[in-house]
Amino acid sequence: MDTPATTSSDTLPSTLARLRAAWQARKPGESQRRDDLRRLRDALKRRLPEMADAIAADFGHRSRHESLIADGMTVLNEIDHLSSHLRKWMKPKRVGTGWRFWPARAEVRHAPVGVVGVISPWNYPVNLALIPLATAIAAGNHVFLKPSEHTPRASAFLQSLLAEVFPEDRVAVATGGADIAAAFAALPFDHLVFTGSTAVGRKVMAAAAPNLTPLTLELGGKSPAIVCADFPVERAAARLATGKWFNGGQTCIAPDYVLLVGDGARRDLLVQALRDETAARYGDLDKANDYTRIINDAQFARLGGYLDDARTRGLEVIPLVGKHDATQRLFTPTLVLEPGDDAAVMQDEIFGPILPIITVDTLQDAITFVNARDRPLALYPFSHDRGSVEKILHDTLAGGVTVNDTVLHFGINALPFGGIGPSGMGAYHGRAGFDAMGKQLPILWQPRRAGSDLLKPPYAKVARFIDFIIR
- Catalytic residue positions, numbered: 218, 252
Are 248 and 292 spatial neighbours (Cβ–Cβ below 8 Å)?
yes
Length of the chain: 471
Among 423, 422, 296, residue whose Cα is nearest residue 352: 296
DSSP state of 409: G
Are 242 and 233 spatial neighbours (Cβ–Cβ below 8 Å)?
no
Among 245, 372, 395, residue whose Cα is nearest residue 381: 395
Cβ density class 400-411: b for 16+ within 10 Å, e for less: bbbbbbbbebbb
What's the order of all strands across the beta sheet hosting 142-146? 171-173, 142-146, 115-119, 191-195, 215-218, 424-425
Are 104 and 49 spatial neighbours (Cβ–Cβ below 8 Å)?
no
Cβ density class 155-179: b for 16+ within 10 Å, e for less: bbbbbbbbeebbeebbbbbbbbeee
Coil, strand, or helix at residue 323? coil
Phi/psi of residue 444, nearest 5 degrees:
-110, 125
